[in-house]
Structure 1
Amino acid sequence: MTLAVLGEDKTARERLQEFLRVYASVNTRLAYATDLGVPLEWVPGYTPPDPTRRRGRRRAEPTGLEWLNWCASNEIRFADVRVEHVERWLAELADAGYSDATRGRMLSAVSAFYTKYLLREGLATRNPVSLVDRRAQHLNKPAGTPSTTKRWSFQACRALLMAAYLLAERSRDGRRDRAMVEILVGTGVRADELVGVNLADYRRAGPNDIGVLRVHGKGGKDREVALAPPVADALEDYLAVRVEPAVPALPGQVGTATRPIFITSTGKRVHTSHLQAVLTRLCRTFTEPPKAPWLRDLLATPDGEFVATHLAPLRDTIHPHSARHSYATHAVERGVPPRQVQRDLGHSALATTEGYLHDEDNVRNSAAHELAPALHRGWLATSA
C-alpha cells in the first residue's frame, strides 16, 4: 500500500502500526484494520491462521471500498478530506450493498483514525466525520435500542450447561469445553475475553468460595468477574486435568510469560472459532439422529429430552455473543440493578447495557393485554 498522504518521514506501514497500537487487544486491532483496509500482515501481534487447520469464519477479502483504499484510488489526501468526500464514500458503500450497521461501524473506524492519530500527528487539521449527519445517513441508532442479537431463554441456558456437563467425560477436551461454556453463560464475558484469560488471572480462596477471573476487555480495560461456585468448580475440574505440552513452545504458546488457561492439545491458546464450534456441536449432538448407542440411551433420559427440546431452536443460529445478551436480560429480570450488570459486562455507558436487554416484562405487562380483549368482548367468542 502506497499512501504518501501519511507523510514521508515514515512508511505507511509504520504509521498505521502506530495507530493500531493505540488498542491493546489484537482482535480490536484486526477489527479496525479490516474496516480501514489495512493489510492484516501489518497488524501488530497478528498471527496468520495455520492453513492446514480448519478455522472459523474467514475475514472478508478487501473490496477496494475500505477508507484507505478508497482515498488512495481517488487520490485524496487525508488533510484535504471534507465532509462531502465522506458522504460520497458512504453512498458508494450503500450502492455496493453494505448494510447501515456495517457502514456505521466503518465510519466510526475512520473517526477514530482521525481523532486518535491523524490529528495528533499533525497529518490533518479536522475530523471530517464529526460533520456527517448520521441520522440522514440512516446510521443513527438511538441509545438503548434493543439489539437484534438473539437471546437464549433461561431454559436454553440451562440446557447448554447440562449438555456440556453430560458430555464432559465423553471426549478428551470435554472438561475444558464445559468450563468454557460455564464461564460464557455464567458471567456474560465476550468470547475473545474468555479465550484471552491466563492462569495468573484466576484465583479462589477455598473449595466452596466464589472464584475471581480477571478478563482483558476492550480498550485495554481489565475487570474482574465473579465465578459462582458451580462455575468455579467446572473450571477447576478442567484445571485438574490440564496438561502442559511437552514440546517446545512457540510464540504465543504455553511456556512463555503468559500461560493461557484454555489450550489446545498442542499448547496453543484456544481460538474464538473453537468456542463457536463447541456451542454448535452441543446443539447438534442432542438434536440430530444419534449414532452411538450411549447417545441414544442418553437422549432417552429426561435430562436428554430436556436438552434436546431447548437446544433445537438454537442449532442453526447459535453464537457466543448471545450468551452476553442472555446474561444481561436474565440478570435484570431477576432483580439485579442495571448498573451492576453494566459493571459485570464492562460497558462504559449504561445506555450500551440497556441495548443488550430484551426486557420481556415490557411485553408481559403491556396494556395491550387489557385493551384488546376489552375491544373484542361481547362479540368475539375467544375474548373473555
Structure 2
Amino acid sequence: MNWQQAIKDYQNYLKIERGLSKNSITSYSLDLQKMVRYFDDHEVKVSPIRVDMETVQQFVHDVAKTVNPRSQARIISGLKGFFNYLVFEDYRNDNPMDLIETPKIGRKLPDTLSVDEINALILAIDLSKPEGERNRAILETLYGCGLRVSELLNLKLSDLYFDEDFIKVTGKGNKQRFVPISDVNKKYINIYQYEVRVHLPIMKEHQDFLFLNRRGKQLTRAMVFTITKRLAEKIGLKKNISPHTFRHSFATHLLENGADLRAIQQMLGHESITTTEVYMHVNRSHLAKVLNQYHPRK
C-alpha cells in the first residue's frame, strides 16, 4: 500500500463510516499530504504500513517550527486518526503516534459582536442593489438562528417551516435538527425570496437552495466570507470577523439574556455541552449580575 492509496481509502472511510463533511475530510487530507511531501523532500522511502515512530516524530518536530501550537495539535490529532484507521483495518499492529504528545493550547474564546455592531453591519448593506436583500437575509439568519456557514449555504426552501416557526438544518455528519426562527428573520427571508430570488435565472440543480448568486447557483463559502469582511471594512469595525462570528454572538447573547445552556446546545447542534461552553464568551460583570440576582444570600 502506498501513501496516496492509503489516503484515498482513509477519505472514503471518513466520508462513509464517520459521516464527516467535505471540509473536514479536506483538512485531514492536507495534513497527511504535508507529511508525504516532507518524506519525499527528505528522501524517506517508507510506506504507511512500515513507517515507525521515530520517522513520524521527526516530521512532527520539524513542522512544529513553522506552525503555531493549535495547528500542531490539529496535525497530530489528524495523524493519530489516520494511523488508528490503519490499525482498525489490520494494516498495522501499532500506531506510531501513540507516544507523541499534543501541545497544550488552552481554549480560545471566540470573538463576538455586540448587538450594536450587528445592527451597524446590517444597516451598512446597500439595499438598492438586488443582492442587498439577500445579504440582509443571510446576516439575519446567521445571527438569528446561529447557523454554521455550511448550514446556511445548504438551507433549502423545503427546509423552511415558517408556519411552525422552525427551519430544518443539516449539520455536521448530515445530522438534522429543527431550529426556531423569529418573525423578523422570516420577514427578511420572505422579502428576498418573493421580491428578489423569483427574478433570478435559477439553474435546475439549484432550484431548492434558498440563497443563490446572481447566476442562479448556490452561494459559496468564499462569497459569504467576502460579504461579512466588506461590511466590517465599510463600518470601520476593527474586529477580525467571519460568518462564524455571528454564531458565536447568537450563543453569547442568548446566554447573557438568561437562556438555558442545554437549549443553546440543541439550537447549535452540539453533541457535547462542553463544546457549547466554549462559545460562551461571558464577562465577569455578567456573572456578578447572575450571582446577585439568583443566589439566596444576595
Provide TM-score, normalisation by structure 1.
0.66
2:132 to 171, 174, 181: 174
For residue 141 of structure 2, what is the aligned residue in structure 1? 183
State yes or no: 1:100 paired with 2:94.
Answer: no
> Is contact 2:11-2:29 (8 Å) kept?
no
Alignment partners' CA distance in 1, 2:20 and 2:156: 16
Residue 32 (structure 1) shift:
1.9
Cα deviation 1:205-224 (Å, max 9, x = unaligned):
1xxx62x2222222232222
Aligned-pair Cα RMSD in Å? 2.7
For residue 330 of structure 1, what is the aligned residue in structure 2? 253
For residue 28 of structure 1, what is the aligned residue in structure 2? 24
Alignment partners' CA distance in 2, 1:106 and 1:203: 40
Alignment identity in percent?
Answer: 26
Residue 196 (structure 1) shift:
1.8
State yes or no: 1:233 paired with 2:158.
Answer: no
Change (3 A) 1:82 1:321: same
For residue 206 of structure 2, what is the aligned residue in structure 1? 254
Cα deviation 1:1-29 (Å, max 9, x = unaligned):
xx6257xxxx4575244234234522222
Alignment partners' CA distance in 1, 2:203 and 2:243: 32
> Is contact 1:71-1:77 (8 Å) kept?
no
For residue 267 of structure 1, what is the aligned residue in structure 2? 216
For residue 290 of structure 1, what is the aligned residue in structure 2? none
> Is contact 2:141-2:185 (8 Å) kept?
yes
Alignment partners' CA distance in 2, 1:185 and 1:344: 12
Structure 2 runs not aligned, ≥5 long? 290-298
Instruction: Give the counterpart letter for 1:215 in structure 2.
Output: V
Cα deviation 1:31-67 (Å, max 9, x = unaligned):
2222222xxxxxxxxxxxxxxxxxxxxxxxxxxxx23
Instruction: Give the counterpart letter for 2:110 in structure 1.
Output: T
Instruction: Give the counterpart letter for 2:161 in structure 1.
Output: R
For residue 86 of structure 2, what is the aligned residue in structure 1? 118
State yes or no: 1:213 paired with 2:167.
Answer: yes
> Is contact 2:49-2:92 (8 Å) kept?
yes
Alignment partners' CA distance in 1, 2:277 and 2:176: 21
For residue 78 of structure 2, what is the aligned residue in structure 1? 109
Alignment partners' CA distance in 2, 1:334 and 1:229: 19
Instruction: Give the counterpart letter for 1:25 in structure 2.
Output: S
Alignment partners' CA distance in 2, 1:171 and 1:160: 16
Equivalent residue of 1:235, what SS?
Answer: helix
Change (3 A) 1:264 1:118: same
Q: Which has the larger radius of gyration?
A: 1
> Is contact 1:103-1:139 (8 Å) kept?
no
State yes or no: 1:200 paired with 2:158.
Answer: yes
1:351 to 271, 274, 280: 274
> Is contact 2:109-2:281 (8 Å) kept?
no
TM alignment of 1:29-68, pairs within 5 A: 29-37=25-33, 66-68=34-36
Residue 232 (structure 1) shift:
1.4
Instruction: Give the counterpart letter for 1:222 in structure 2.
Output: Q
Alignment partners' CA distance in 2, 1:284 and 1:133: 41
1:90 to 36, 43, 60: 60
Alignment partners' CA distance in 1, 2:121 and 2:130: 19
Residue 182 (structure 1) shift:
0.3
For residue 112 of structure 2, what is the aligned residue in structure 1? 151
Equivalent residue of 2:238, what SS?
Answer: helix
Change (3 A) 1:92 1:363: farther
> Is contact 1:86-1:129 (8 Å) kept?
yes
> Is contact 1:215-1:222 (8 Å) kept?
yes
Change (3 A) 1:359 1:79: same
Alignment partners' CA distance in 2, 1:279 and 1:248: 25
Instruction: Give the counterpart letter for 1:118 in structure 2.
Output: L
Alignment partners' CA distance in 1, 2:37 and 2:62: 13
For residue 313 of structure 1, what is the aligned residue in structure 2? 238
Residue 159 (structure 1) shift:
2.4
For residue 198 of structure 2, what is the aligned residue in structure 1? 243
Equivalent residue of 1:129, what SS?
Answer: coil
For residue 49 of structure 1, what is the aligned residue in structure 2? none
For residue 294 of structure 1, what is the aligned residue in structure 2? none
Alignment partners' CA distance in 2, 1:248 and 1:219: 27
Equivalent residue of 1:78, what SS?
Answer: coil
Instruction: Give the counterpart letter for 2:210 in structure 1.
Output: I
Cα deviation 1:155-199 (Å, max 9, x = unaligned):
2123233434xx33x111111111100011112211121112222
Alignment partners' CA distance in 2, 1:341 and 1:270: 27
Change (3 A) 1:349 1:131: farther
Equivalent residue of 2:97, what SS?
Answer: helix
